[in-house]
């Protein structure tokens, strides 16, 4: 306990003595975390979108030619329902298709009011028993008469997922580089305090201080720097995301028919990730900077 | 108390000490003399395990220093007090704090620090300057503080590396009287010095090292031809 209070007192004194460099390293880590935060929020949102898209596009959309009558369409539905791997088939009239779009567009739906002709085709919506066999259903349905186009979104989903993976890998590489840079920045800052106290450290070692006792204040110094940086970064990312959600959540819902990840989820995770990362960067940086001094 | 058995230490091709044998009993007062580069500093660094011996075994007390694992080095050093020619006090701490610092490091309780530090300051005769800073003190007074710091944790050995090198003859002699007092209380003293007059006047055991070997080990004076 006594050693602990000594360590904490020393750490704060050191930061005070070395204000400029400490501030600089706090900013460097904060900047790194802001980039990380940007990627993190982007990633969780893209993932959510991909997930929603998957649910949404589970169905196969069969657009019918305008000449196809309702009776004929219902016959087609019956025929499709007998096919293998088909769980359900549902007929949606042109009017229903328009109405669905109107609800989806919400308050922007007035844009649809000006339309002279209803541009949405009558549709048969097919739910498959297994996404894997959707290709076979599509092949069979495409041969039927009166079918204008079959929309089959598995490819789109795959594309989204591939892009997501690319972004993830890119972000990971960038973040690893940034973490390494941050550790170097912290270790240089602490090296300065170590140099300033070299004489004291030498005396401590002669008197028989353990390495951990010598290291303690520097370790705490690094952790404090990392911690402050993580709190600042979390606050900025949290505030920024809050504003983005407030401004764009509705529009995103309309355009991508998928909501944004809620603010609460983001802030909780950001705080945990940032603080853990900040503390790791700080302690690693200080341990690295002291290695040479503690060898003898 | 301290024993070197056939110890060799080389720096590259430079032999610092070679097949050195040395034995110092508990409570002894020993001068280590010899020209610069003879290997005196190497001996002290080996004792403190600042450096490793290439060959041979070193004992301090019960401990075999040469095979001591790194985690036990701090405990080993707490058993050895050390005083330098340049005092090495912390300039931003008062006399009291400089001495208390050595106790803080070994996690002594505040109560023990409050009891022990004034006692030691009074022993070295510097009680009245407890609240002053090193730059306010004379060289002799600074060395007294350094000695207080070295003995505050009751080490069984006190190593003094040219403790009088920066002092005028009168002050040097006062410091020697102080070290003698500490020796009389039971602490083993190993003092490295070039001060011939002091060695002659003290009349203690003198170990002369040259080119990494003990060339003379006798009671009395700095040089053989002058011994009584």
Same domain, A162 and A246: yes
Q: For residues A220 and A241, is the Cβ–Cβ distance under 8 A?
A: no
Q: Are residues A38 and A106 both part of a single domain?
A: no
Query: Which residues, including other chains, have CB under 8 Å from residue B62's CB and lie 6 or more apart?
Result: none
Give the closest residue to A57 by CA, choosing from A254, A249, A258, A248. Answer: A258
- pLDDT band, very low/low/confident/very high, at A196 (cuts 50, 70, 90): confident
B213: left (phi over 0), alpha (psi -120 to 50) or beta: beta
A146 and A163 co-located in one domain: no
d(CA A279, CA A290): 17
Cβ–Cβ < 8 Å for A285, A190: yes
Residues A195 and A171 in one domain: yes
SS3 A128: strand
Best A208, A215, A217 residue to mutate vs chain B (most B CBs within 10 Å): A208
Regarding whether A260 and A143 lie in a shared domain, the answer is: no
B159 Cβ contact list (under 8 Å, min separation 6)? B44, B47, B48, B80, B81, B82, B83, B190, B191, B192
Closest-CA distance of chain B to residue A286, Å: 20
pLDDT confidence tier of residue A63, bands split at 50, 70 and 90: confident
Task: Give how far B122 is from chain A: nearest CA, Å.
Answer: 21
* Nearest Cβ partner for A208 among B71, B74, B101: B74
Beta A123-128 vs A59-64: how paired, if at all? antiparallel
Interchain pair B75, A208: CB under 8 A: yes
In this prediction, residue B228 carries a pLDDT of 44
0.90 exceeded by pTM: no
ipTM value for the complex: 0.79
Q: Final residue of a domain: which of A152, A167, A182?
A: A152
A162 and A219 share one domain: yes
Q: Which of A117, A152, A187 is the last residue of a domain?
A: A152
The candidate with the shortest Cα–Cα distance to A23, out of A228, A214, A168, is: A228
Q: Are residues A161 and A120 in the same domain?
A: no
Regarding whether A109 and A13 lie in a shared domain, the answer is no
Which H or E element spans position A150?
strand A147-151
Is B105–A207 a contact, with Cβ atoms under 8 angstroms apart? yes
Q: Could you tell me if A183 and A115 lie in one domain?
A: no
Based on the domain organization, do A35 and A105 belong to the same domain? Answer: no
Rounded to the nearest angstrom, the minimum Cα separation between A25 and chain B is 27
Residues of chain B in contact with residue A1, where contact means CB-CB under 8 angstroms, are none
Binding-site residues on chain B for chain A (CB distance < 8 A) = 48, 50-51, 71, 74-79, 82, 88, 90, 101-102, 104-107, 109-110, 149, 153
Which of B51, B88, B109 minimises the CB distance to A203?
A: B88
Domains and CATH numbers, chain B: 1-79+155-223 (3.40.50.300), 89-154 (no CATH)
Q: For each of chain B's 228 residues, which pLDDT tens digit applies?
A: 899 999 999 988 888 899 999 999 999 999 999 888 888 889 999 999 988 999 999 999 888 999 999 889 998 998 999 999 899 898 888 999 999 989 988 888 889 999 999 999 999 999 999 999 999 999 999 999 999 999 999 999 999 999 998 899 999 999 999 999 999 999 999 999 988 899 999 999 999 999 889 998 988 777 765 544
On whether both A170 and A195 belong to a single domain, the answer is: yes
Residue A295 pLDDT exceeds 70? no
In chain A, how many domains are there?
A: 2
Q: Which residues of A touch B51 (CB under 8 A)?
A: 296
Rounded Cα distance, A86 and A129, in Å? 6
- Which CATH number goes with the domain that contains A89? 3.30.70.3040
Residue numbers of the domain that contains A196: 2-54+157-294
Cα–Cα distances (Å) from B148 to B114, B158, B179, in that order, read 14, 11, 11
Among the candidates A127, A152, A177, a domain finishes at: A152
Q: What is the DSSP letter of B168?
A: -
Q: Are residues A174 and A257 in the same domain?
A: yes
């Amino acid at each position: 306990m006594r050693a602990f209070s000594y360590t904490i007192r020393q750490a704060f004194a050191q930061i005070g003595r070395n204000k400029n460099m400490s501030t600089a390293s706090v900013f460097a880590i904060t900047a790194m975390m802001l980039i990380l935060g940007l990627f993190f929020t982007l990633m969780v949102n893209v993932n959510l979108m991909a997930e929603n898209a998957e649910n949404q596009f589970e169905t196969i959309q069969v657009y019918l030619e305008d000449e196809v009558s309702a009776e004929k369409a219902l016959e087609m539905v019956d025929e499709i329902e007998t096919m293998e791997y088909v769980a359900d088939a549902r007929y949606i009239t042109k009017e229903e298709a328009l109405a669905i779009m109107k609800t989806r567009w919400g308050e922007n739906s007035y844009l649809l009011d000006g339309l002279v002709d209803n541009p949405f085709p009558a549709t048969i919506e097919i739910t498959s028993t297994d996404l894997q066999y959707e290709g076979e259903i599509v092949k069979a349905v495409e041969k039927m008469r009166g079918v204008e186009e079959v929309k089959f979104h598995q490819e789109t989903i795959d594309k989204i997922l591939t892009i997501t993976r690319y972004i993830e890998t890119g972000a990971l590489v960038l973040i690893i580089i940034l973490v390494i840079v941050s550790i170097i920045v912290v270790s240089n800052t602490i090296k300065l305090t170590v140099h300033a106290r070299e004489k004291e450290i030498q005396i401590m070692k002669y008197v028989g201080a353990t390495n951990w006792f010598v290291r303690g204040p520097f370790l705490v110094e690094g952790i404090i720097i990392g911690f402050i940086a993580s709190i600042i970064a979390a606050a900025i990312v949290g505030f920024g995301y809050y504003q983005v959600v407030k401004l764009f959540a509705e529009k995103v819902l309309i355009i991508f028919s998928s909501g944004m990840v809620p603010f609460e989820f983001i802030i909780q995770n950001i705080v945990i990730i940032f603080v853990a990362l900040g503390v790791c960067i700080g302690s690693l940086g200080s341990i690295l900077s002291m290695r040479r001094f503690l060898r003898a | 108390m301290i024993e070197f058995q056939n110890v060799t230490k080389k720096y590259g091709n430079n032999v610092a000490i070679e097949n050195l044998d040395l034995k110092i009993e508990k409570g002894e007062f020993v001068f280590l003399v010899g020209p610069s580069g003879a290997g005196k500093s190497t001996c002290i660094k080996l004792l403190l395990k600042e450096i490793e011996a290439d060959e041979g075994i070193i004992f301090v007390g019960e401990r075999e220093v040469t095979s001591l694992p790194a985690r036990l080095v701090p405990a080993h050093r707490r058993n050895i007090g050390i005083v330098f020619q340049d005092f090495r006090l912390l300039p931003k701490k008062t006399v009291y704090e400089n001495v208390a610092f050595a106790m803080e490091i070994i996690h002594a309780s505040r109560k023990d620090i409050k009891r022990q530090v004034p006692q030691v300051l009074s022993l070295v005769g510097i009680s009245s300057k407890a609240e002053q800073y090193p730059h306010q003190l004379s060289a002799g007074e600074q060395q007294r503080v350094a000695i207080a710091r070295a003995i505050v944790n009751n080490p069984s050995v006190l190593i003094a590396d040219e403790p009088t090198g920066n002092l005028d003859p009168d002050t040097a002699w006062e410091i020697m009287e102080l070290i003698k007092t500490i020796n009389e209380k039971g602490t083993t003293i190993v003092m490295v010095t070039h001060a011939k007059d002091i060695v002659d006047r003290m009349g203690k055991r003198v170990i002369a090292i040259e080119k990494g070997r003990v060339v003379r080990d006798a009671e009395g004076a700095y040089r053989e031809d002058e011994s009584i």
